[in-house]
Structure 1
Amino acid sequence: MTITQLQYVLAVAEHKNFTLAAEKSFVTQPTLSMQIQKLEDELDILIFDRSKKPIQLTQVGEKIVDQARNIVNESFRIKDIVDQEKGYIGGEYRLGIIPTIMPTLLPLFLKNFVKKYPKINLKVEERNTDTLIEMLEEGYLDAAIAATPLENSNIKERPLYYEPFVAYVPESHRLSNTANLKVEDLNLDDILLLEDGHCFREGVINLCKSNHEAGGKPFELASGSFETMLKLADEGMGMTLLPYLHTLDLKEKQKANLYYFEDPKPAREVSIIYHKSELKMHITEALKETISGIVRGAIAFQNVQIISPLNK
């Protein structure tokens, strides 16, 4: 068997279609099919059940794909060793970022990083945390930026910064003009939340530790946008919580509605995360150094309490 055959198997396992897998692998469909067939003949088993649409892995095929992923990743490590030995920082690097971090963090570091490392072909994707973890485990991403800790044995975490929660309280709200905002002042029933799937939502819920039963609100909101929640808050529909970096771009009128918590300020830990196999670590280190250097000037909070993003 060859590394190329294993890469073709992984491509079909991902796309569940021979034609699409061949297209993504930059080979003809007959070439890809022939190489997979040769591997199946050599092993005397079927990796794929071609009778199903879309194509499915057989039971033994699932085990082979898991092992193939390990082998292909380890083969990539050889190139990593050579690149690091030569001091070369370049090539394709796939980075995922969660939606509540992407809009504020990416503009801070992207231009600087691209200018400093022009040989890196950086590909950035916006995905939620669960999807990022899955893509890291399956080798579709080299690293990601997410709220941590995640408590996943396959994923390593390196903190970049700690971002406080900031309350956005309109004038009509019961907490407006509160001199010293405390976590105990919060009531989950009058806080506008992001839709399910956003770890920032889970962080807010964990912060409030509310004893109120679900369904106490006069309406249900399913939004992935902080802007929507701000507009609803301005209309008197409640208050909301924002990540600190998101508050920097608010209009001056809106900034008057920002309230900061007493120390230790509740905050989320934002980390660069990657698979425990540690591929392309020289690029990951370069990215971490770039982001840490820039964000250090934007966030100077030290006395914080880390709020878990996990659904507890």
Structure 2
Amino acid sequence: MTITQLQYVLAVAEHQNFTYAAQKSFVTQPTLSMQIQKLEDELEIQIFDRSKKPIQLTEIGKKIVEQARSIVNESGRMQDIVDQQKGFIGGEFRLGIIPTIMPTLLPMFLKTFIKKYPKVNLKIEELTTEVIIKKLNEGHLDAAIAATPLGNDQIKERILYYEPFVGYTTENHRLYDKKELVTADLDIDDILLLEDGHCFRDGVINLCKVPRAIDHDHFQLESGSFETLIKLSNEDLGMTLLPYLHTLDIRESERKYLRHFAEPRPAREVSLLFHKSELKMQIIEALRTVIMSIVRGAIAFHNVEIISPVQK
């Protein structure tokens, strides 16, 4: 049994196709198939049910894959242990960021980080919170930036900053004349939301204290971007809520539509996430330090009420 064989097994389990798994593993399909067959012969079991399309794991195969993932991940951390002992900050680092944070936060810290730590090879993906948790647990990400708390025992959270919700309402809206908003002002039937799958959407629904599984005609107006929500609001189709950092880049002509909440301001907690067994702590700490030093100048709210991003 070899680490390479286990890596091939994980590739097929992920892609459910021998040819595609071989391409992703940079080997020929016969080589990958032969190595997996050798492993199955050695263990005297069948890991994959090849009669099904796409290829499925057998019951024993599911247990083998779980153990293989743990072994491969741990073997890959050998170099991490050495780097940590030497205090070396470099190497590949895979970072996931949720869509409602990526456009505003990434431009703020990326240039500074890569200049300060040129030996770190950052690989950044825009992913939903659900996918981030899955990839952290499977060892496909080293860390992520998302709204918290998530309440996952396998994932550690290091708080970066608190980002208040900000109302956006035009002249014809009932809340336009209010200087400050309070939670009681909000009506879920009157708020334009991001499409399902965004944790900021779930945070808004939790803020309004209504069940997530509600069904109103209003929810036909959903979008994947804050820019679209702002345009819809400008057409008097409802108000919307924005994360504070997004409001810093809003057009001057639209700033009069922004309405802050009275203290304690409802806010989302933004954290750096990593698996509890992660060893690249020197890079994680470097990333956290850079982000906090930069964001501190743009956002410094302390009297806030944290709104959970977890679906209720």
TM range (shorter): over 0.9
Partner of 1:131: 131
Q: How many Å apart are 1:30 and its aligned residue?
A: 2.1
Partners of 1:180 and 1:139 in 2: how far apart? Answer: 44
Q: Please tell me whether residue 168 in structure 1 is matched to residue 151 in structure 2.
A: no
Report sequence identity in percent: 71
Q: How many Å apart are 1:214 and its aligned residue?
A: 4.2
Call closer, same or farther: CA 1:150–1:219 in 2, change over 3 Å. closer
Question: What letter matches 1:62 in structure 2?
Answer: K
Q: Secondary structure at the match of 1:150?
A: coil
Call closer, same or farther: CA 1:219–1:199 in 2, change over 3 Å. closer
TM-score by length of 1: 0.96
Deviations 1:27-52 (A, max 9, x none): 22222222211111110001111122
Partner of 1:140: 140
Partners of 2:211 and 2:49 in 1: how far apart? Answer: 50
Q: Please tell me whether residue 46 in structure 1 is matched to residue 58 in structure 2.
A: no
Q: How many Å apart are 1:77 and its aligned residue?
A: 2.1
Alignment of 1:206-225 (within 5 A): 206-210=206-210, 214-217=214-217, 220-225=220-225
Partner of 2:182: 182
Q: How many Å apart are 1:216 and its aligned residue?
A: 4.7
Partner of 1:199: 199
Q: How many Å apart are 1:62 and its aligned residue?
A: 0.5
Asked if the contact 1:167–1:239 (Cα under 8 Å) also holds between the matched residues in 2, the reply is yes
How many residue pairs match? The answer is 312
Deviations 1:92-113 (A, max 9, x none): 2111111101100111111111
Unaligned 5+ residue runs, structure 1? none
Partner of 1:106: 106
Partners of 2:236 and 2:278 in 1: how far apart? Answer: 48
Q: How many Å apart are 1:210 and its aligned residue?
A: 4.1
Partners of 1:256 and 1:183 in 2: how far apart? Answer: 20
Unaligned 5+ residue runs, structure 2? none
Partners of 2:50 and 2:200 in 1: how far apart? Answer: 41
Partner of 1:33: 33
Partners of 1:103 and 1:118 in 2: how far apart? Answer: 22
Q: How many Å apart are 1:174 and its aligned residue?
A: 0.4
Call closer, same or farther: CA 1:128–1:171 in 2, change over 3 Å. same
Q: Secondary structure at the match of 1:193?
A: strand
Q: Secondary structure at the match of 1:256?
A: helix
Partner of 1:234: 234
Partners of 2:212 and 2:178 in 1: how far apart? Answer: 22
Call closer, same or farther: CA 1:56–1:111 in 2, change over 3 Å. same
Question: What letter matches 1:225 in structure 2?
Answer: S
Pairwise CA RMSD: 1.6
Question: What letter matches 2:20 in structure 1?
Answer: L
Q: How many Å apart are 1:218 and its aligned residue?
A: 5.5
Partners of 1:7 and 1:214 in 2: how far apart? Answer: 43
Partners of 1:226 and 1:148 in 2: how far apart? Answer: 20
Asked if the contact 1:190–1:217 (Cα under 8 Å) also holds between the matched residues in 2, the reply is no
Asked if the contact 2:192–2:222 (Cα under 8 Å) also holds between the matched residues in 1, the reply is no
Question: What letter matches 2:12 in structure 1?
Answer: V
Partners of 2:219 and 2:262 in 1: how far apart? Answer: 30
Q: How many Å apart are 1:212 and its aligned residue?
A: 12
Deviations 1:129-184 (A, max 9, x none): 11111111111111111100111111111111100000001111101121332111
Question: What letter matches 1:175 in structure 2?
Answer: L
Partner of 1:89: 89
Call closer, same or farther: CA 1:21–1:176 in 2, change over 3 Å. same
Question: What letter matches 2:111 in structure 1?
Answer: K
Q: How many Å apart are 1:219 and its aligned residue?
A: 6.5
Q: How many Å apart are 1:11 and its aligned residue?
A: 1.1
Partner of 2:71: 71
Q: Please tell me whether residue 80 in structure 1 is matched to residue 86 in structure 2.
A: no
Question: What letter matches 1:40 in structure 2?
Answer: E
Call closer, same or farther: CA 1:57–1:180 in 2, change over 3 Å. same
Asked if the contact 2:166–2:243 (Cα under 8 Å) also holds between the matched residues in 1, the reply is yes
Partner of 1:20: 20
Q: How many Å apart are 1:22 and its aligned residue?
A: 1.8
